Amino acid sequence: MELNAAGLELIKKSEGFRVRVYLDVEGYPTIGYGHRLIHPETFPNGISEMQATAILYGDVRDAERAVARLIRVPISQEQFDALVDFVFNLGQVRLDESTLLRELN
């Protein structure tokens, strides 16, 4: 299962687009649609929306794989999209340790 277009748009809308590097709520350098910079990534001249969308696709793929690995029951597309958004924002460890996952499975 893959995040559908509506799920991707939800992430883009909730994250918002930032041209320049900023510190997220936890103090990590972030750019584009909520992409946390990983050393040695730098964007001294900022980022375009096209670049940010390409990076977002990569970040979402990681979240999709985590959801596919952790969920052991059939779920709807909407549930999958919501779980990918959860992992994108909070990380796979938070889902793995959550009551949500335990109850769902």
Q: The CATH number of 5-104 is which of 3.90.1640.10, 1.10.530.40, 1.10.10.1400, 3.40.50.2000?
A: 1.10.530.40
**CB of 7 closer than 8 Å to CB of 84:** yes
pLDDT-derived band at 74 (thresholds 50, 70, 90) equals very high
pLDDT of residue 37: 96
Can you give the residue ranges of every domain in the chain?
Answer: 5-104
SS3 for 28?
coil
- Among candidate residues 2, 9, 15, 103, the one labeled active-site is 15
**15 annotated active-site:** yes
* SS3 at position 44: coil
* Token output for 2: 């893959």
* Chain segment 36-50, per-residue pLDDT in tens: 999 999 999 999 999
Q: Per the residue annotation, which of 2, 9, 24, 96 is the catalytic one?
A: 24
> With bands split at pLDDT 50, 70 and 90, how would you rate the model's confidence at 91?
very high
Question: What does DSSP say about strands 18-23 and 35-36: parallel, antiparallel, or unpaired?
Answer: unpaired
Which tokens in the block code for residue 23? 């510190």
Any catalytic annotation for residue 81? no
Residue 94 sits at the vertex; the CA angle it makes with 92 and 12, to the nearest 5 degrees, is 65
